[in-house]
A and B are shown apart, each in its own frame.
Chain A
Amino acid sequence: DSGVTQTPKHLITATGQRVTLRCSPRSGDLSVYWYQQSLDQGLQFLIQYYNGEERAKGNILERFSAQQFPDLHSELNLSSLELGDSALYFCASSVGSSRNTIYFGEGSWLTVV
């Protein structure tokens, strides 16, 4: 158990819909990262937040957005969903803003039908 909690574990939704994935980082960790893992794209970095502020941006689509709240939990919002958005979405956390040691959650499986 890494200490990073993600909900929901599984989610099935229709194209065009919007979903929210939630992440609670390890106690004391200030950084939260979101990754997308799919068969064709592999593991892709989406976005990082550090202590409530956006710190780094990766291959995140404009239809996706994220935020980190004052209690440090984070949400990833996915809208206008397409079949290709079906993937495993990971949240990870670290103490500082660098990625020397990051801890991953177990992921949220999103299936778009």
Chain B
Amino acid sequence: AQSVTQLDSQVPVFEEAPVELRCNYSSSVSVYLFWYVQYPNQGLQLLLKYLSGSTLVKGINGFEAEFNKSQTSFHLRKPSVHISDTAEYFCAVSERNNNNDMRFGAGTRLTVKP
């Protein structure tokens, strides 16, 4: 079965700095990849997803992620973060032939400091 590892449990950055949240996955078949964001006291909101096509995926709030098949990674990036980006970010993976089984990473807590 597929699995996903988020390499950093916490990422503190200063406002307007760039940020990268790392995600690696493991699967023996082709996958779909997702990034979700969870703001305090809220549910998960889809940031972006990779299903097929261009490996560079743009999402909401200025985030983007790049699918790298050879490195089995799907890192999330933003060139300049805001205080309002402070949240928990989850990477998720599902297998193309079994899309009902979506696995989530443990999450990365992004804290943006002034």
Contact = CB atoms under 8 A, between A and B. Distances in A.
Interface residues of A, number: 22
The main secondary structure of chain B at its interface with chain A is strand
Contacts of A97: 100
B32 A100 contact: yes
B100 A107 contact: no
B43 A45 contact: no
Contacts of B44: 43, 90, 92, 104
B49 A43 contact: no
Contacts, number: 49
Interface residues of B, number: 21
Contacts of B106: 42
Given A98-B99, A99-B94, A100-B99, A42 B104 contact: yes
Contacts of A55: 100
3 tightest Cβ-Cβ pairs between the two chains A and B: A104-B43, A56-B100, A98-B99
B45 interface: yes
B90 interface: yes
Interface string A42-81: 1101001000000110100000000000000000000000
A2 interface: yes
B32 A2 contact: no
Given A42-B106, A43-B90, A99-B94, A104 B101 contact: no
B87 interface: no
A102 B99 CA distance: 12
